[in-house]
């Protein structure tokens, strides 16, 4: 990762976390669709990033969100799961001929069909972990599934919109 890319990603993480903390805390469409836009940062790291560092970074970001939300551990646990699953899922859905070295898993580079099949299951896994941990012993399975499904759809839609608006072609932000 070049220095320029590094700065870009630090900036991206800071921006998304700020938005998540200050604006999206109590946003829940119809009481079920939460938005975890900061996952866009974890999803946008380069394809060839080492799994080890990705897991560490995700844990850190999740913990940061948790400290502001007073949900200590929830986001961290779920984001770590997402980071752990990401390389396997990337391998599973790799296009014919594999990825280019310079590929970033973003909407502009990979196209909308690929992006949805990439992000939706990962965000769903995140939400499932998040709401299972959150409602442990209180809510039923249906509530958890319901919230996870709609939250992941809402998050992916918002992530696509953010990328269309703010991501330049071939340049990160």
* Least distance between other proteins and beta carbon 84 (Å): 4
Judged by CB under 8 A, the number of residues near other proteins is 37
Pair of tokens at residue 63? 């913990």
* Least distance between other proteins and beta carbon 133 (Å): 6
State the binding string over 41-70 for other proteins (x if CB under 8 A, else -). ---------xxx--xx--x--xx--xxxxx
State the binding string over 84-123 for other proteins (x if CB under 8 A, else -). x--x------------------------------------
Pair of tokens at residue 57? 């970074």
Contact present, 152 and 126 (Cβ < 8 Å): yes
Alpha-carbon gap, residue 73 to 67, rounded angstroms: 9
Q: How many helices (H) and strands (E) does the chain have?
A: 7, 2
The phi-psi region of residue 94 (left if phi > 0; otherwise alpha if psi is between -120 and 50; otherwise beta) is beta
Structural Rg of the chain based on CA atoms: 15
Pick from 9, 13, 34, 40 the residue near other proteins by CB under 8 A.
34
Please give the residue ranges that form the binding site for other proteins (CB under 8 A).
21-22, 25-26, 28, 31, 34, 50-52, 55-56, 59, 62-63, 66-74, 76-77, 80-81, 83-84, 87, 133-135, 138-139, 143
């Amino acid at each position: 990762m070049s220095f320029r890319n590094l700065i870009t990603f630090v900036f991206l993480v800071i921006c998304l976390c700020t938005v998540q903390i200050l604006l999206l805390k109590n946003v829940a469409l119809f009481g079920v669709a939460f938005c975890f836009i900061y996952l866009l940062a974890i999803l946008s790291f380069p394809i060839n990033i080492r799994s080890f560092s990705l897991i560490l970074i995700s844990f850190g970001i999740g913990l940061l969100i948790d400290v502001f939300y007073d949900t200590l551990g929830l986001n961290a646990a779920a984001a770590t799961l997402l980071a752990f699953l990401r390389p396997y899922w990337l391998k599973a859905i790799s296009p014919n001929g594999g990825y280019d070295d310079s590929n970033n898993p973003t909407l502009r580079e990979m196209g909308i069909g690929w992006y949805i099949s990439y992000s939706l299951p990962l965000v769903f896994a995140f939400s499932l972990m998040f709401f299972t941990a959150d409602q442990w012993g209180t809510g039923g399975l249906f509530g958890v599934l319901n919230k996870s499904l709609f939250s992941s759809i809402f998050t992916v839609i918002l992530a696509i919109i953010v990328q269309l608006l703010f991501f330049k072609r071939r340049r990160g932000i």
